[in-house]
């Protein structure tokens, strides 16, 4: 079967209705749907509407609170800790990022750590909110454990992504959004469906040996930190994933390391809960807290065009600026619609039927 293409607005409206049906207030439903759909627009299909029924199942399992009282439980002029009250990360994260932006407006930068949240979609959706304010935005989150630290067979960290979004002038912004693993789990899932092997350096088996089995996570294997093995710097990927965990959970009081709650509702909750829910971390830095926006943007444009025009390797692509592929995809999909796999479309249809929303 072929993929069918759906207009962005159509998928957005459907998603808003679904979130309303599970009890989200209207504004929260719109916020959550916009964040979720930004993944589909940007081509991160693993984190978009394909996950909508997963969020609903978390709500059915009473692991998501549709009407959270999101509160600031601690703050200073440049920092805050937000308690997400078990709400959708898709709603809690925009609240926290907005708070970081307000603090940056007041004292130059704002840094918000979040406890008691859930999965927040793509990291870029939040960091990029800073751009319209001529601020650099930072977003990271911990996630349920799939990644073994260097020298271990135990899954101790999530894919713990980091996004840094920096504005430019006439050039489009710089948006680096990266899981701290060699490859994101979504890429493994694509290989599984195609029954293809994974490159060496992506995963290891249950004994910690190098593996090319794309299904190895179901057999006790683990994703590998960026770098792959010790000789290629996996201890650096492990350290970066650990930093995300420390900023997101140790600073907020969320669950950390192997105790982060899973996304699939059928996976039992970890035996221990040293904190509350999932943790995120957000930052906003006003450019003009450092230098004039004009001087920064002039240099940033020069930086970007310098990289874009760097001599390419013969036969390979032109040098890309972080965020280029996603921005190109967003323009295309805004215009031409978002293609969904038949299985995803069928899942949304079934979800709509169950909740009484027309897909």
Which of 8, 19, 95, 256 touches a second copy (CB under 8 A)? 256
Shortest CB 193 distance to a second copy, Å? 19
Q: Does 108 bind a second copy (CB under 8 A)?
A: yes
Binding mask 279-298 for a second copy (x = CB under 8 A): ------xxx-xxx---xx--
327 alpha-carbon distance from chain centroid: 16
Q: Does 101 bind a second copy (CB under 8 A)?
A: no
Footprint of a second copy on residues 52-71 (CB under 8 A)? none
Q: Which residues contact 10 (CB under 8 A, 6 or more apart)?
A: none
CA separation (Å) from 294 to 83, 170, 211, 301?
37, 11, 50, 11
- CA 149, CA 212: separation in Å to the nearest integer? 18
Q: Which is nearer to a second copy, 313 or 358 (CB)?
A: 313
Q: Does 196 bind a second copy (CB under 8 A)?
A: no
Q: Which residues contact 319 (CB under 8 A, 6 or more apart)?
A: 307, 308, 309, 310, 312
Q: Which is nearer to a second copy, 237 or 352 (CB)?
A: 237
Helices 342-355 and 8-21, axial angle in degrees (round to 10): 40
Which of 76, 194, 335, 358 touches a second copy (CB under 8 A)? 76
Q: Which residues contact 351 (CB under 8 A, 6 or more apart)?
A: 18, 52, 53, 56, 357, 359
Q: Which is nearer to a second copy, 6 or 111 (CB)?
A: 111
**27, 119, 109: which is closest to 76 by C-alpha?**
109
Q: Does 270 bind a second copy (CB under 8 A)?
A: no
Footprint of a second copy on residues 210-249 (CB under 8 A)? 226-228, 231-233, 235-240, 242-243, 245-247, 249
| Candidate ranges 1-9, 54-62, 177-185, 341-349; the one touching a second copy (CB under 8 A) | 177-185
């Amino acid at each position: 079967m072929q993929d069918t293409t759906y207009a962005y607005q159509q998928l957005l409206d459907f998603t808003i209705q679904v979130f309303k049906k599970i009890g989200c207030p209207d504004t929260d439903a719109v916020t959550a749907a916009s964040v979720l759909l930004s993944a589909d627009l940007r081509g991160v299909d693993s984190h978009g509407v394909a996950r909508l029924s997963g969020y609903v199942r978390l709500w059915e399992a009473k692991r998501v609170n549709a009407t959270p009282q999101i509160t600031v439980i601690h703050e200073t002029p440049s920092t805050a800790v937000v308690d997400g009250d078990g709400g959708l990360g898709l709603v809690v994260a925009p609240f926290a990022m907005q708070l970081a932006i307000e603090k940056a407006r007041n004292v130059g930068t704002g840094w918000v750590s979040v406890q008691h949240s859930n999965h927040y979609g793509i990291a870029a959706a939040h960091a990029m909110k800073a751009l319209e304010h001529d601020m650099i935005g930072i977003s990271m989150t911990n996630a349920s454990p799939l990644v073994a630290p260097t020298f271990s067979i135990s899954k101790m960290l999530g894919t713990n992504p980091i996004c840094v979004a920096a504005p430019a002038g006439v050039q489009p912004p710089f948006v680096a959004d990266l899981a701290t693993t060699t490859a994101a789990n979504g890429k493994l899932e694509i290989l599984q469906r195609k029954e293809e092997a994974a490159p060496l350096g992506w995963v290891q088996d249950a004994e910690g040996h190098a593996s090319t089995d794309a299904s190895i996570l179901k057999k006790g294997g683990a994703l590998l930190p960026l770098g792959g093995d010790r000789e290629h710097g996996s201890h650096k990927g492990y350290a970066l994933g650990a930093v995300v965990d420390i900023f997101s959970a140790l600073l907020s009081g969320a669950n950390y390391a192997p105790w982060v709650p899973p996304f699939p509702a059928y996976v039992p909750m970890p035996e221990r809960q040293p904190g509350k829910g999932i943790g995120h971390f957000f930052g906003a830095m006003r450019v003009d807290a450092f230098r004039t926006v004009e001087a920064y943007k002039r240099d940033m444009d020069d930086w970007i065009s310098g990289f874009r025009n760097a001599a390419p390797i013969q036969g390979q692509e032109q040098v890309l600026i972080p965020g280029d592929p996603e921005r190109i995809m967003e323009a295309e999909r805004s215009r031409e619609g978002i293609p969904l796999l038949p299985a995803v479309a069928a899942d949304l249809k079934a979800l709509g039927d169950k909740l009484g929303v027309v897909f």
